[in-house]
Structure 1
């Protein structure tokens, strides 16, 4: 089991590590909507350029929805697209909130997520609905929360990790990055960060304070 207090700072991935995530729920939702083979367009391992552009903020939600309609060959409503797209998003379990609260009292912790504007609106509202009695918003759990579509960059690019290091003057040799996607760890290693793979949904089985 990984001892987090061995490090001076910790950078967390979000979906699958802190947020419950089910990629198959979005696949099922879109396949029910249009009978398409969603897996050829988007998965945890790879995705088409439309999704990369959305995750890096190069296109806005309206352009993303129009791109999906074109890819799928279906005139779907904005609401239908957003509902299916957000189907993968679960909540942040209370035990994760409590764990992060305890950790942040002892170390600076950061969030670094490949995400997009539609997902951000949904998961931040869900967090307030679930934990608004404890926190005014998800970012308050962290020293800083970084989202790919705000930075114009995404994991596994080494540059996105370097941005976090530079902005907070972190020592990579004393900083740990955790992610449930093994391919994302490679960029972190390139800038000298320690890394750990956390199987989806197993954060508290893999780490301790």
Structure 2
């Protein structure tokens, strides 16, 4: 039986052939062409049409306005970053979408989730909770050179935060490459509460 990664490769190549994209050119990875990789200038064709440029919920506009660096492999049809954006970013565009997402998180993550107020990609706090302060990662930005959760759900009127790492076909999670030195732990000036740990179902 093929591995999941091999199944994804096959599926994405079939999708590309059926989608009628404007190019058959293969993109490169480490100098080698692969049929599931698009040329860099065609990366948006891997996005759901509802979040491409020109849509009401444009991901490229969001990245520009929030100064977020998209992942360099976003032209790869196996990109976890693109899969995450396709799956979660559309929910931020409507109240109905946020309510649907809140119901899912309440059921599968924590019963304490009452509302989802915002969905943010490559999330990072400012001030005392910035990656430079918490993790000693100086000089980075959202999406590049610092630890940024793939997607964050701001819940319960801003009183809760669910940070999520998204993987598609990678074989594992990877070590963070941005932290280069120890950063003294700073006492928090804010009181906080955490959501109960989710239960694991067999």
TM-score range normalised by the length of the shorter chain: under 0.3
TM-score by length of 2: 0.26
TM-score by length of 1: 0.26
> Higher relative contact order at CA 8 Å, sep ≥6: structure 1 or structure 2?
1
Query: Normalized per residue, which structure has more helix?
Result: 1
